[in-house]
Amino acid sequence: MNNGIVSTILDRCKRCYSCIRECPATAIKVINGQAAVLQERCIACGHCVKVCSQNAKQIVSDVDRVVAEILPGKNSIAIVAPSFAASFPNDYLKVPAALRKLGFGKVVETAFGADLISDYYLSEFESDNATTIISTACPAVVNYIEKYHDNLVPNLAKVVSPMIAIGRYLKATLGESAKIVFIGPCIAKKQEYTDEEVSGVIDAVLTFSEIKNLFKANGINLSGQEESDFDPPHAYMGRTYPLAGGMLKTANISGDILEKEIIVVEGKQKVTEIIDELANNNIKAKFVDILFCEGCISGPAIDSNLNYYSRREKVINYIEKKNHSVDKQIWKSSLYNSRNLDFSRSFSEKNQRRPYPSEEKIKEILAKTNKFAPQDELNCGACGYSTCREYAVAIAKDLAESEMCLPYLIDQLNKAYNDLNNAQEQLRTAEKLASIGQLAAGVAHEINNPLGTIMLYSSLLKKTISKRLEDNQSSEDLDLIMKEANRCKNIVSNLLNFAREGKLNISKVNVSELVSNIIKTIKMNPLYADVDIEAECFIGDTTIDADEDQLKQVFLNLINNACEAMEESAAKKISVKLFSDDGFIVTEVQDSGAGIQRENYGKVFTPFFTTKKIGKGTGLGLAISYGIVKMHQGFISFQSEIGKGTVFTVKLPKINNTQNINMN
């Protein structure tokens, strides 16, 4: 994704956020679904590389340049980190021979560089400096302090790392033409050797992983090599550097557990904690020895299947084996020959901190992911941040995106899924009702003619029979025929309304007044004397273009249905609310009834479907209401919960374009 020390391979990144969770510098941001490394913020600690299960993080490589420009050659020198025994646990004594076969003219221990700078650290420790001294052997620690705790830059020991120290020694003794390649477990070394303060000393940096790949590419089988010693200068106690407290051991500084002037810290979490404490002046120790990893034996490129304790044991075994055979006189002579070399360096502020957001901004961001109170903050860590608050701060600093909150995304997905289901259900209902409407219209047309004939001849017969006073029973029978025929005619008329047969008589209608008048009428009905009806209007103007009579039928049906739905309810309450929503006047009618069974949702607007008692209704009220609302280019829907009640929602456009339009 970019050309820094660590970058992302786009097609491998699976948006798992493991790297974000592991990054101590908040230097990774999800951009277009990919975890991009923000190079200016990256401290090259390599923790994101270690935790990426998809191998989606790549490290800048010097392999091609080493092969093309440095190997083979007598002036090429490999300096090997003392943790190599942990990376090559079974054949570490054969590594020097394998490197020579690869083409290096000399193979030297980087650990001698640790020996070279031990006196510098001893001098720092014995100085009268009032501030806490922080070791600088670990470049990731240096990067972290320079970028995020620049107030601690003066506390950094002004001493080069062992890699730079041995590099300066070799350039001084073998000539500037020597090409030096560092080989180790540390990714941050790839950044360190290009630092302006020390550039030109080391020519390339390879990791243990890269050197193993070079062995394989060149057909070098490590187990087939002979055991061989490193080239001089040979190291001594500097070999302990990859272990926690190794620097103190090398410099002969007491690291007793009760020694409060000295603190030894290793591991990402402990390192960030101690640096925070130092920055806040909560620690008064004389000296702090820090390694970002759990010792260099746990470096991101150690490339070993051994656990921490086995790696540590391998390194200790190597130290014990080699230190017994060191010629102290030659070792001291080598140190003496370096007396005129300068192993000091300075550090600079490279502040990458971003302003901390206000409390109002944090709350605003949290609210966008439905976190309005502390109990809403799950702190699940799925986004890669420890807490929801940290995540909100990262968003405010433009280091994260709201789409990274997994619980919020799941809620949104569920909502979208439910909305889709509702839309599909409404579509199925609309299609079904359209088919039923076409059928109803056809049936209604066919029934209207015979009904008219029945009513006509019944009327004629009644006139004839009425002249015969003795035929009262026949007259009553004809009245019943005419009454039932008229009932059939009304049903047919309702079916035609449902089927959208007819025209709208458009006029200006005040929905609020219309609903208020309907409520007054219903309250006068003694059957509903125990029903509490409350109406609220949240907008000033509720005037729309509509057919007043037909809308009256819609709201009358809804409120009557609500009253009847509460026959068995202890608390009988209806709430009617009017408000505006994106060009629509919305009316909600909510009851406290029994609710609608889930299996009946698809039948609610179907003609002749009813759950009322026999004789209470025909099942056409909601079907007709549906048709009327659709004729007005509006929407009608409902939500229901068993035991709590139902809410019917009618949305009518403020501007209606149906005037004088035949809705056939």
Pick left, alpha or beta for residue 296 (phi over 0 → left; psi -120 to 50 → alpha; otherwise beta).
alpha
Burial 615-635 (b: 16+ CB within 10 A, else e): eebbebbbbbbbbbbbbbebb
CA atoms within 13 A on the CB side of 198: 30
- pLDDT at residue 286 greater than cutoff 50: yes
- The CA-based diameter of the chain, rounded to the nearest angstrom, is 149
pLDDT (average), residues 585-609 = 86
pLDDT (average), residues 248-265 = 75
Residue 660 pLDDT class (50, 70, 90 cuts): very low
Enumerate the β-bridge partners of residue 77: 106, 180
Determine the pLDDT at residue 664.
28
Give me the chain's average pLDDT, please. Answer: 86
pLDDT (average), residues 176-184 = 96
Determine the pLDDT at residue 495.
64
The region of weakest confidence among 195-209, 579-593, 595-609, 646-660 is 646-660
Closest CA to 152 of 164, 137, 136: 136
Query: Over the stretch 355-413, which tens digit does the pLDDT of each residue have?
Result: 999 999 999 988 888 888 888 888 887 777 889 898 889 888 888 877 777 788 788 88
CA-to-CA distance for 48 and 58, rounded, in angstroms?
10
The region of weakest confidence among 182-196, 213-227, 369-383, 631-645 is 369-383
Closest CA to 121 of 158, 165, 163, 170: 158
Query: Over the stretch 602-613, which tens digit does the pLDDT of each residue have?
Result: 788 877 777 766
Looking at per-residue confidence, does 648 or 16 come out higher? 648
CB atoms within 10 A of CB 283: 14
Helices (H), 254-387: 268-279, 308-323, 328-337, 359-368
CA-to-CA distance for 531 and 583, rounded, in angstroms?
32
Say which residues have a Cβ less than 8 Å from residue 90's Cβ, sequence separation at least 6.
223
Pick left, alpha or beta for residue 281 (phi over 0 → left; psi -120 to 50 → alpha; otherwise beta).
left
Looking at per-residue confidence, does 269 or 261 come out higher? 269
CA-to-CA distance for 281 and 283, rounded, in angstroms?
6
CB atoms within 10 A of CB 606: 18
Residue 142 · residue 274 · CB < 8 Å = no
Residue 371 · residue 411 · CB < 8 Å = no
CA-to-CA distance for 528 and 332, rounded, in angstroms?
107
Residue 148 · residue 25 · CB < 8 Å = yes
Determine the pLDDT at residue 178.
95
- pLDDT at residue 502 greater than cutoff 70: no
Give percent above pLDDT 70 in the chain: 90
Query: Over the stretch 7-57, which tens digit does the pLDDT of each residue have?
Result: 988 888 887 888 888 899 989 888 877 888 999 999 999 999 989 888 889
CA-to-CA distance for 271 and 282, rounded, in angstroms?
14
Residue 461 amino acid letter: L
Determine the pLDDT at residue 663.
33
- pLDDT at residue 129 greater than cutoff 90: no
Q: Which residue shows structure tokens 């890269």?
A: 210
CA atoms within 13 A on the CB side of 449: 4
- pLDDT at residue 258 greater than cutoff 70: no
Compute the residue count for the chain: 664
Closest CA to 656 of 636, 634, 635, 637: 634
Determine the pLDDT at residue 433.
61
Helices (H), 467-596: 472-498, 511-523, 548-565
pLDDT (average), residues 267-290 = 92
Looking at per-residue confidence, does 269 or 661 come out higher? 269
pTM greater than 0.85 = no
Determine the pLDDT at residue 40.
93
Residue 248 · residue 288 · CB < 8 Å = no
Determine the pLDDT at residue 616.
60
Determine the pLDDT at residue 458.
81
CB atoms within 10 A of CB 105: 18
Determine the pLDDT at residue 209.
94
Residue 395 · residue 406 · CB < 8 Å = no
Determine the pLDDT at residue 453.
83
- pLDDT at residue 470 greater than cutoff 70: no
Determine the pLDDT at residue 659.
43
Q: Which residue shows structure tokens 């540590």?
A: 312
The region of weakest confidence among 96-100, 121-125, 205-209 is 121-125
Task: State in Å, rounded, how far the first CA of the chain is from the last one.
Answer: 60
CA atoms within 13 A on the CB side of 428: 10
Query: Over the stretch 287-342, which tens digit does the pLDDT of each residue have?
Result: 999 999 998 999 999 888 899 999 999 999 999 999 888 899 999 999 998 999 99
- pLDDT at residue 165 greater than cutoff 90: yes
Residue 509 · residue 516 · CB < 8 Å = no
Determine the pLDDT at residue 496.
64
Residue 154 amino acid letter: P
Q: What's the Cα-to-Cα distance from 616 to each of 62, 426, 566, 611, 612, rounded to whole Å?
A: 87, 27, 14, 9, 6
Closest CA to 116 of 318, 329, 341: 341
Determine the pLDDT at residue 237.
92
The region of weakest confidence among 264-268, 494-498, 652-656 is 494-498
Supply the DSSP string of 222-237, one letter for each residue.
GGGSPP-PPBSSPPSG
Residue 605 · residue 433 · CB < 8 Å = yes
Determine the pLDDT at residue 398.
87
Residue 651 pLDDT class (50, 70, 90 cuts): very high
pLDDT (average), residues 244-261 = 74
Q: Which helix (H) or strand (E) holds 534?
A: strand 532-537
Determine the pLDDT at residue 437.
64
Residue 444 amino acid letter: A
